[in-house]
Structure 1
């Protein structure tokens, strides 16, 4: 399974427009070569370098395997009939929150999970509920990270 952003290379700096120093919009994401039997996808973006522990920036679940990516500036609210749900991030928001480290360079991991089922949880669920719902259903995982240091 391949997973990347066309906006920046893995391990490289995340462009400012996708951070709190810029427009704070979500970067475009692309994936391919999903495993056979994939019924849904989940994306989690988090910062393991946050002073208070892992900081969740973005959680999206029940993405159709027919979709091959998300465009830049993904909507903050998905059409409920498509079945895609946003989880609650560490800011207690149900949409993307870009890198905004208090100091130093942080890593921002983008993780894609191919699942053999749709998750039976409601939009607005927290990361813990999402991870519990995923247990026993992960067919494959792919990830990459970008880095960012706040400019202001």
Structure 2
């Protein structure tokens, strides 16, 4: 069995989840059933401080091809929690948020912003795309007073960037049919200054603007396959 917390473990869990769905297990219970079967065969081991925990954390991920693991200085030690009410960290993104399933942007919420945060910005990327890292969402100009993003609409006043489909806003997962589950990194940046980005910024524009001004990041990873 794959090691708990590894990408292979996530892939195996995704396949099990689909098996349970085909057996008629309700969607909201399929994740729990898949986790229970995996943990029965390979009980989770205690993790050290450098291992990935079971909840979103404020430090950068260390998974393979993490698109920005080495691009910035170490974030604020207190971390920044990023999560979604629609899916758990390293769990399957529901189909309604996929490109072909409705293309609705998922809800997000966050906590533990560091003192001095002046602006929040968000990028969602797929590092497993066959042509290289693919951008699915770029948002900037998010007020620190905002506690999250509602399903299907950006926060009021946010600057909406351009995704890899060439459109502004959310572009849902659409990996090649038959691929192993792709990973979708949602990364929230807390900046110590306004980023002053123009309309329709790219992910590279956002990263260049926040470079040297990042107080913390929060990361959430979703999985999706067709």
State the TM-score, normalized to the length of structure 1. 0.91
1:37-116 correspondence to structure 2 within 5 Å: 37-75=116-154, 82=157, 84-103=158-177, 104=179, 105-116=181-192
Q: Is the 8 A contact 2:121 2:142 kept in 1?
A: yes
Aligned alpha-carbon RMSD (Å): 1.2
1:58-112, CA deviations, whole angstroms, 9 ceiling, x for partnerless residues? Answer: 000010000000011015xx75xx3x20111111111100001013110011001
CA offsets 1:107-128 (integer angstroms, 9 cap, x no match): 0110010110111220212121
Which of structures 1 and 2 has the larger relative contact order (alpha carbons within 8 angstroms, sep 6+)?
Answer: 1
Runs of 4 or more, structure 1, over 6 Å off, are none
Matched-pair contact (CA < 8 Å) for 2:140–2:197:
no
C-alpha displacement at 1:21, in angstroms? Answer: 3.1
- By how many angstroms is 1:52 displaced? 0.4
Counterpart of 1:122? 198
In the alignment, structure 1 segments of 5+ residues that lack a partner are none
Partner of 1:17: 96
Most deviating of 56-65 and 19-28: 19-28
C-alpha distance in 2, partners of 1:71/1:121?
22
Matches of 1:127 and 1:27 in 2, distance apart?
A: 18
* More helix as a share of residues: 2
Number of residues of Structure 1 aligned to a counterpart in Structure 2:
145
Greater Cα offset, 32-41 or 85-94: 85-94
Larger radius of gyration: 2
Q: Residue 122 of structure 2 contacts residue 188 of structure 2 at CA under 8 Å; is this kept in 1?
A: yes
Partner of 2:218: 142
Distance in 2 (alpha carbons) for counterparts of 1:67 and 1:94: 21
Tell me the TM-score normalised to structure 2 length: 0.62
State the alpha-carbon separation in 2 of the partners of residues 72 and 14 from structure 1.
Answer: 13
Structure 2 residue ranges without an equivalent (≥5): 1-79
